[in-house]
């Protein structure tokens, strides 16, 4: 299943040909939710070991258009994790201090420490896509960034950071429904920005810009995955599968106990 989500390095993501309403071969929502519970248990165990070992770190990058459900995925994944060893970082438009530095400066500062899992809600990829679409810098500036990012991520991977990059693939129609819900529901209204509609009007263009950067930066050391996002339970399941798979590949080991601890009786 993970293989079908993966954007093979050197191949095209073909986002437009992927079904946002796909259910990942599960036997419906109930079966999917059962599987999710199991995955959360596995996540908890693996995360405890990662934290105890303190050697490797994990970075989950979450991208997706407005209302693709990044916040919901974060909430779901976190139920499986130990709050002590994890952090969520949300990236907004850069501040003036951040703009006074190179674009990776603010990102570098919040990377996971050894033993930690960090989830990026948006990321350095906005420095390619948002900058391109909103014309915040000339083309020559954002065009060279995917090359920097590939090499920077290679360095992170060499230094024991496992990187999992996810694009939540929501359909135009489901996005409309969710944005409408934000307008209609007083509890959700704060999330709605009228500017989101300007972005929505360029839905295909945005997907195209994501496709370009995903194609350019899906690498062996930091692959992209396109996760169907029209069903909330499916996107939660897809991301949990990816994280468990990543942690299993890290295969963190508990540190050896002090000599003489085994069999000790506490009086
Ligand atoms: P939200 O995730 O809804 O709170 O929105 C955050 C906003 O910040 C989005 O409109 C992003 O496109 C924008 N943003 C995040 N990172 C950057 C960046 N590096 N450059 C420009 N805009 C950004
Ligand atoms: Mg928003």
> 26-67 pLDDT, tens per residue?
999 999 999 999 999 999 999 999 999 999 999 999 999 999
With tokens 């990102």, the residue in question is 107
Query: For residue 187, what are its two tokens?
Result: 């509890």
94 CA distance to ligand 1 middle (Å): 8
The gap from C-alpha 133 to its chain's centroid, in whole angstroms, comes to 21
47 CA distance to ligand 1 middle (Å): 29
Rounded mean pLDDT, 82-93: 96
Q: Which ligand is nearest to the CA of 64?
A: 1
Q: Over the stretch 242-252, which tens digit does the pLDDT of each residue have?
A: 999 999 999 99
Closest CA to ligand 1's atom 8 = 92
Q: Is the C-beta atom of 126 inside 6 A of ligand 1?
A: yes
pTM higher than the cut 0.85:
yes
Q: 262 in helix, strand or coil?
A: coil
165 CA distance to ligand 1 middle (Å): 17
Sheet of 6-7, strand order: 6-7, 224-228, 161-169, 57-64, 117-121, 86-90
Atom of ligand 1 nearest to the CA of 193: 3
57 CA distance to ligand 1 middle (Å): 25
Q: How far apart are CA 211 and CA 12, in angstroms?
A: 8
């Amino acid at each position: 299943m993970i293989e079908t989500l993966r954007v093979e390095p050197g191949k095209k993501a073909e986002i437009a040909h992927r079904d946002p309403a796909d259910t990942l071969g599960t036997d419906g929502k109930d079966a999917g939710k059962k599987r999710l519970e199991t995955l959360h248990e596995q996540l908890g165990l693996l995360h405890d070991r990662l934290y105890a070992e303190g050697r490797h770190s994990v970075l989950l990058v979450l991208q997706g258009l407005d209302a693709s459900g990044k916040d919901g995925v974060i909430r779901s994944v976190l139920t499986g994790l130990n709050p002590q060893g994890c952090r969520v970082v949300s990236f907004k438009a850069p501040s003036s201090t951040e703009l006074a530095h190179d674009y990776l400066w603010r990102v570098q500062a919040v990377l996971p420490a050894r033993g930690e899992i960090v989830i990026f809600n948006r990321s350095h990829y906005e420095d390619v896509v948002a900058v391109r679409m909103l014309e915040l810098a000339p083309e020559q500036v954002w065009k060279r960034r995917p090359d920097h990012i590939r090499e920077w991520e290679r360095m992170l991977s060499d230094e024991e950071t496992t990187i999992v990059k996810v694009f939540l693939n929501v359909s135009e129609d489901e996005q409309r429904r969710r944005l409408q819900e934000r307008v209609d529901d007083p509890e959700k209204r704060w999330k709605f920005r009228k500017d989101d509609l300007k972005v929505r009007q360029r839905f295909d263009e945005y997907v195209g810009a994501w496709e370009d950067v995903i194609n350019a930066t899906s690498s062996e050391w930091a692959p992209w995955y396109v996760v169907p996002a029209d069903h909330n339970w499916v996107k939660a399941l897809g991301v949990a599968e990816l994280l468990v798979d990543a942690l299993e590949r890290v295969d963190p080991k508990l540190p050896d106990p002090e000599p003489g601890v085994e069999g000790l009786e506490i009086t």
